Amino acid sequence: MTLAPDAVRTMFDRIAPVYDVMNRVMTAGLDVRWRRLAAEAAVRRGDRVLDAACGTGDLAIADLKAGAGKVTGLDFSEQMLARARKKAPLEWIRGDLLALPFADGTFDAATVGFGVRNVADLELALRELRRVLRPGGRLAVLEITQPRGALKPFYSLWFDRIVPLLGKVLPGGSAYTYLPASVRRFPSAERLAALLRDCGFGEVRFRLLGGSIVALHTGIAA
């Protein structure tokens, strides 16, 4: 089941108040390190950086800490952005990742954290990110991926059973019932790497984090 963009936006508007807490709880705090690694993979000192699907702003703030000169956070959920605005005085823009409101080649680097899994058209999202990067600009995409190896059974228990239960006791819980299905539907790390190449990125690589629960993809705008 793929949710329509309006349904995704409404879902994030509803879970905004608990989003940060759920992130910390679901990942035992590892998400902070993952965002730092994503930011460091993409950002060089003084860069003009886009953090697309910025949500409550943690990855945009990590981009700034990694040395960015200017960071723009973009998201289509006003409630997620409202939380981001309270955290840091960056440029926060309401907009659609599938139709980015920026000229070609505007940014030196772009990051997306847990944002491409929910878009209606993944390929269009990657092409938009490529378009707004200058040639040679760097992209880092952090996303939940299908787990491999020994952790897989624990992951299924955690993600398919416990996380949706946790979600039920918190406002906006339905979003967390939807989460396992959205991960299952999302392409494997290898497939996402191939898609990035198809969408105009070179030197595409990925590393698995958190015992292979999360993939960090990087690429250079060709």
Ligand X SMILES: C[S@@+](CC[C@H](N)C(=O)[O-])C[C@H]1O[C@@H](n2cnc3c(N)ncnc32)[C@H](O)[C@@H]1O
Least distance from C-beta 144 to ligand X, angstroms? 9
- Residues 36-65 interacting with ligand X (rule: CB under 6 A): 53-55, 58-59
Task: Please check whether residue 137 is in contact with residue 110, taking contact to mean a CB–CB distance below 8 angstroms.
Answer: yes
Question: Which amino acid belongs to residue 189?
Answer: A
Indicate the residue among 100 and 221 with the shorter CB distance to ligand X. Answer: 100
- Of the candidates 7, 9, 200, 221, the residue with the CA atom closest to the CA atom of residue 95: 9
**Which span (7-15, 41-49, 130-138, 180-188) binds ligand X, by CB under 6 A?**
7-15
- Residues 115-144 interacting with ligand X (rule: CB under 6 A): 115, 118-119
Task: Please check whether residue 215 is in contact with residue 209, taking contact to mean a CB–CB distance below 8 angstroms.
Answer: yes
**Which span (39-47, 71-79, 129-137, 193-201) binds ligand X, by CB under 6 A?**
71-79
Q: How far apart are CA 81 and CA 89, in angstroms?
A: 12
Residue 163 interacts with ligand X (CB under 6 A): yes or no: no
- The region, left, alpha or beta by phi > 0 then psi within -120 to 50, assigned to residue 71 is beta
Residue 75 interacts with ligand X (CB under 6 A): yes or no: yes
Q: How far apart are CA 52 and CA 133, in angstroms?
A: 12
* Closest-approach residue to ligand X (CB): 55
Residue 90 interacts with ligand X (CB under 6 A): yes or no: no
User: Which one of residues 47, 63, 96, 143 is an interface residue with ligand X (CB under 6 A)?
Assistant: 96
Q: Which residue shows structure tokens 């299924």?
A: 156
| 3-state secondary structure (DSSP) of residue 17 | helix
Q: Footprint of ligand X on this chain (CB under 6 A)?
A: 5, 8-9, 12, 35, 53-55, 58-59, 75-77, 80, 96-98, 113-115, 118-119
